[in-house]
Amino acid sequence: MAPRARQRCHATLTALLALATAAVLSAAPPASAADTWTEVGSDRADPLTESQGLASVEVPANSANRYTGIGTIPISVSSRGWNHVGDPDASYDGHYIEPYQADSGTAKMYRVQAPGGGWSEYVHTLSPGEALNNSWVAITPDGQWMLSGEYGTMTRFLVFPTPGVNPATSPSANLPQVSTVQLDHPVRDVQGCDFSTGTTLLCSSDDPEGSLFGVTKPLLQVDLSAAPNGTSNVSGHVSALRQLPLRSSCSGTFEAEGIDYDRRTGTLRVIVVSPGFCVLTDSKTYRFTKG
C-alpha cells in the first residue's frame, strides 16, 4: 500500500474508532456504581396478588411482608375507577401506603392503613404537566415525606407530605406536591423505589430499551444531595448497579415490578414477572444482599 493510501486508511480507522467511542459514551450513564448486590434466593410471585409491588412492615413487630396486585384491590376501590395499584411502602411507625391510578381523570389516590388497622384515602389533583400514572411510593426514614414516581422517561421524582403521617395532610383536603427530586440522568419506566438510607434510593426500572444505561431492566441507585424536607428541591445522582434477573421457562418480554429494602435484615427484594404463560408459573420475587 502506498504511503498516502496508508495515511488515508489510518485516518478512516481513527475516525471510525472515535465515532464508536462517542456512541458508547453517549449511551452510558455519567457514572456507574459497582455491582454490590448479590442474588441470594427467590420466591414465586403470585400473578394476582404479588405482581405489582411489595413492602416490609416493621410495626407491629413480626408483621408479614405486604404485596399488591390486581387481586388485592378491594371492589369498593376499583368500582370507583381506581383500578391500578402500584408499589407500596410502609413508614417506620407502621403506616402502610398504596398508590392508585385510574384510566383517566385529573387525580391520583394514595390509600393509607394506620397502625391500628383503619383505612383512609388521600387524593392528589395533578399539577400542570404531571403524568396520570402512579407507579410507586417511597417514604423517607423520618416518615414525614413521601416520594412518588411517574411512568415513562423522567428526570424527576415527586415529593409529598406523607399522607396520614405528616400533620399537614387530611383525607378531606387535596394532597399537595411540595417539591421534587431533580435527577441528573433520565430514568425510564421506574416501577418502584425504596430508601436504603436517608439519602439513598434503590429503584427497579422496567426499561425495555437499554439505551439509557446500556442494559435493560436495571436496578438503579439514586444518591440524593440532601434528605427531602418538603420545602426545597434536592438533586439525585443516578447509577445503574446491575440488570435484574431475567430467567423463565418461557421466552418473551419480562416485566420488572416493585422493590423493597428491609432495613431489619439488609435484604433487597424485587419482583420480576415472567413472559407469556409463565407469568402463572415462574414469576419471582428475587432476594439480594449487599456485600
Q: How far is CA 18 from the centre of its chain?
A: 35
What is the residue-averaged pLDDT of the chain? 90
Reading the block at residue 108, the C-alpha cell is: 391520583
| pLDDT value, residue 62 | 83
Maximum alpha-carbon separation in the chain: 86
β partners of residue 122: 110
The Cα 229–Cα 219 span in angstroms is 25
Show me where the domains of the chain are located: 47-245
| pLDDT value, residue 29 | 41
pTM here is 0.88
The CATH architecture to which 47-245 belongs is: 6 Propeller (2.120)
The Cα 102–Cα 89 span in angstroms is 20
Q: Which helix (H) or strand (E) holds 124?
A: strand 119-125
| pLDDT value, residue 35 | 52
For residue 16, give the 3-state DSSP assignment.
helix
Is residue 188 pLDDT above 90, yes or no?
yes
Phi and psi torsions of 95, nearest 5°: -75, 130
Q: Which residues, at least 6 apart from 113, have a Cβ–Cβ distance to it below 8 Å?
A: 95, 96, 97, 119
The Cα 181–Cα 159 span in angstroms is 7
The Cα 167–Cα 161 span in angstroms is 9
Of the candidates 288, 261, 267, 241, the residue with the CA atom closest to the CA atom of residue 139: 261
As a whole number, mean pLDDT of residues 221-229 equals 97
pLDDT in tens, 28-42: 343 344 458 999 999
**Per-residue confidence at 23, pLDDT binned at 50, 70, 90?**
very low
pLDDT in tens, 103-124: 999 999 999 999 999 999 999 9
